[in-house]
Amino acid sequence: MSELKIIPLGVGDTFSEHNTTASILIELDGFRLGVDCPDSYRRVLTQASKPQNLALDINTIDHMLITHVHGDHMNGLEGFAFWKYFVEKKKTHLYTSPEARADIWDRRLSAPMDRLFDGREFKQMRFEDYFDYRALSWTEPVALGPLRVRTYRTIHHVPTTALLIEWTTGRKTRKLGYSADTAFDPKLIDFFADADLIIHETNYGPAHTPYESLSSLPADVRARMRLIHYPDTLDLSAPSIVPLRTGEIVSVP
C-alpha cells in the first residue's frame, strides 16, 4: 500500500526569525520530490531531520519543483544544482512553469552559473548542463514519477503554480493540494475541492492570503487544510486550521 508522506522543510515567510522559508519534501514509493528550494538546502535538511530523527540527505533528492521565482522559494536552487553538478556529477531534474523556467536561467541563475573555471580555463555553461527540465503545463496533467501534477495559476506578483498532486493507492486516487503563494482565491479553493489534504499559505498583503479568509471557510475544508508560509506573528495558540511544523511527517494514506 502506497502511503504518501510530506515533510515540511520550512514553514515560514521570507522575514521569519524562527522558520525556514516555505518548502516541503514529498515522498512516495521511494520517489522524492522537493517543492521549492530554500538557500543552504543541506542545512535545511539537517534541521528538518531533527524532530523525527530522519537523516534527510540531499543525495536522495534528485527532483525539484519550483512554484515561482521569488527568492524565498528558489534561492537554494543555485547551490542545489551546483551540488548535483560538482559532487554527484549529475543534473537536477527541474519542474516549473515555462515562464518561471525562462526567468530562472535568464534573470536569476545565469549570472552566477554560466561560467566555470576548471583550473586552467573558463568554460561557458548552459541551463542544460545543470538541469534536466520538464515543463509544468497550465492545461494538462504532467507525470512526475508516481505522481500526476495539475497546475493552477495563482494570484501573485509573478507567475506562480499551485499544485494538485494525484497518486493511486490501492484502487483509490488520492490528492494533495498545494497553494504556493497566492492572494485569497475562492476558485483555487474550488480547484482543491476533492483534495484529501490542502497545504495553504497565509501571510500579509494583497498578494497573500489573510488567515481570516481561510478561517472563515467551511469546517470540512478547514479540517483537510494545513498552513504554511505563515508569519512569526500568527497566533498558534488555538488555530482553527493546524499549521505545519518543520520536520513533522504528514501522511496521506
Q: What's the min distance (Å) between Cβ of 180 and Zn ion? A: 8
- Closest to Zn ion by CB, 74 vs 250, is 74
- Closest to Zn ion by CB, 68 vs 226, is 68
Q: What's the min distance (Å) between Cβ of 5 and Zn ion? A: 25
One residue of 181, 184, 191, 227 binding Zn ion per CB under 5 A: 181
Report the distance separating Cα 147 and Cα 126, nearest Å: 29
From residue 108 to residue 147, the character string flagging contacts with Zn ion as x (rule: CB under 5 A) and all else as - is ----------------------------------------
One residue of 32, 70, 150, 226 binding Zn ion per CB under 5 A: 70
Q: What's the min distance (Å) between Cβ of 157 and Zn ion? A: 6
Q: According to the binding rule CB under 5 A, does residue 174 interact with Zn ion?
A: no
Region from 99-107, 110-118, 170-178, 179-187 binding Zn ion, contact rule CB under 5 A: 179-187
Report the distance separating Cα 177 and Cα 122, nearest Å: 44
HEC secondary structure over the chain: CCCEEEEEEECECCCCCCCCECEEEEEECCEEEEECCCCCHHHHHHHHHCCCCCCCCHHHCCEEECCCCCHHHHCCHHHHHHHHHHHCCCCEEEEECHHHHHHHHHHHHHHHHCEEECCCCEEECCHHHHEEEEECCCCCCEEECCEEEEEEECCCCCCCEEEEEEEEECCEEEEEEECCCCCCCHHHHHHCCCCCEEEEECCCCCCCCCHHHHHCCCHHHHHCEEEECECCCCCCCCCCCEECCCCCCEEEC
Region from 40-48, 176-184, 188-196, 225-233 binding Zn ion, contact rule CB under 5 A: 176-184
- Closest to Zn ion by CB, 68 vs 93, is 68
Q: What's the min distance (Å) between Cβ of 183 and Zn ion? A: 11
Q: What's the min distance (Å) between Cβ of 70 and Zn ion? A: 4
> Total residues at the site for Zn ion (CB under 5 A)?
2
Burial of 110 (0-12, 13-18, 19+ CB in 10 A): middle
- Closest to Zn ion by CB, 90 vs 204, is 204
Q: What's the min distance (Å) between Cβ of 161 and Zn ion? A: 11
Region from 70-78, 100-108, 216-224, 228-236 binding Zn ion, contact rule CB under 5 A: 70-78
Q: What is the contact surface with Zn ion in residues (CB under 5 A)?
A: 70, 181
